[in-house]
Structure 1
Amino acid sequence: MRIERAVDGYLRHVAVERGLSEHTSAAYRRDLDGYARWLEAQGIADTDAVTADVVSAFIADRASAAPPPAASSLARLQSAVRSFHRYLVREGVSDDDPTGRLRPPKAARRLPKALTIAQVEALIEASGPAASDALPGDLVGLRDRALLELLYATGARISEIVQLDVDDLAHGDVLRVRGKGDKERIVPVGSYAREAVDAYLTRVRPELSRRGSATPRLFLGVRGAPLSRQSAWLVIGQA
């Protein structure tokens, strides 16, 4: 069957049988009209001449366009072409579906947005008081500030920070961090972070430690147990 005739038949089918919205039907028509024009440019005018290699070449050609299409647009295009050829098989127009082994395009991964220095400073200030301003009973505020200061100063993951032991700080102005695969690395600790951690160690941790069983972990919860990753995320979320 001629490509143009097959496309018209498929579009009538989806409009009536599948009840697609005007917007979706128009998008399918644009995609399949472009597909038909591309096939014609390759000298392919009949549906029986379309192979898996032809379909892959078409998708690759569209993916490499300038400017590159959005992953969602490419996925919709691929879906339209696949649905079109499956329709031809169901209707007995084609014997084989050339899109059977076509893989969906990978969605683009967005890079995380970094906080500005002002935003980080506001986050730390909101977490708890500095050591010089803390009230005697402000255990949680001093702990939370030490946690955030250490995160900011070292660039470590939350999972790495909550796994720290007190002994990991016994190296002056550097910190021993255990990452994925239990690999260790040494990272510097700035004066602000060191001051906040020292205040936590002398004024807060001994009290928290008495509330629970003995543990070498640096950061403790209010009941004396090691601070969990989920609890550390709450500290950030509430700051």
Structure 2
Amino acid sequence: MTKEHKSGALPEQDRSDTIALPSRVAGSSSLDRLVDTARDYARAAASENTLTAYAKDWAHFARWCRVKGAEPLPPSSEMIGLYLADLASGAGGSPALSVSTIERRLSGLAWNYAQRSFTLDRKNRHITTVLAGIRRKHARPPVQKEAILAADILAMVATLPYDLRGLRDRAILLLGYAGGLRRSEIVSLDVHKDDTPDSGGWIEIEKQGVLLTLNAKTGWREVEIGRGTSDQTCPVHALEQWLHFARIDFGPMFVGTSRNGKRALGTRLNDKHVARLIKRTVIDAGIRAELPEKERLALFSGHSLRAGLASSAEVDDRYVQKHLGHASAEMTRRYQRRRDRFRVNLTKAAGL
């Protein structure tokens, strides 16, 4: 066994070789092209952020194994169970990880083993019993970000200037809020279908509003965003203004601007821009001003737009669920920070 195999390292140049012709099959130009195509699809199976996280998960586990005098390959359910226990206990001076982070680490290890042609039995009792105990002892309700409500988003938008950069950021906030979009979905949009290879969807502007077609976490979905009551608060008008003055008619919809904010560049915005924009405008608008600035910044994130729509829309929950692309009503309710609790009283309905 080579040193590389023992350590479990999987360099970038070797990842593309994990999909290849069987040794017994003679190569040909058409088969070689299919191998290249298959490798392209394999690379698109997970997002770049996910792959980066999985690579870090494996590096951490391999390093932990070396410290303990063990090898990461082949997979050992007993060692994985010990590793999870170590993560949860915070032994060795490292901070204890949350249950969700530990579960993510386990998913990363399973993926990494699969790439190396091994199978990690996640149902093995050495893993399941330890993980069940971690959940029981350490699980906490999920930390939810503050929802940005209608009055908040209007105050945030009002802080933006009317130069090109301000038009862009105004469109991002209003479209993200009205669409209940994830920050990655906002920046992945193109003007047309198939404009760029890294597109996550496209738009169609119509008289009644704008139709977004998104390649989201749960698959393709359409999001209808209607026009607002005034141009000042209308997400569709804000989008039209940005596209017109930025002279964008092809490719990524939201791009960077020149240093003076007067010229649109061709580079697609990173989703971190959305998070920074939200935090900056929350501070500028004086939202939750009674709290120290550090606490205010920690309360809001990209998900605050999504939670804000779910909490503010006065419509049947089924419409909100469809709009957000949730598979269950329970998931939608998690996003509703201020819903009408006890609206349905099953105690009285049951005759008590």
Pick the TM interval, shorter chain.
0.3 to 0.5
TM-score, reference length from structure 1? 0.38
TM-score, reference length from structure 2? 0.27
Q: Which has the larger radius of gyration?
A: 1
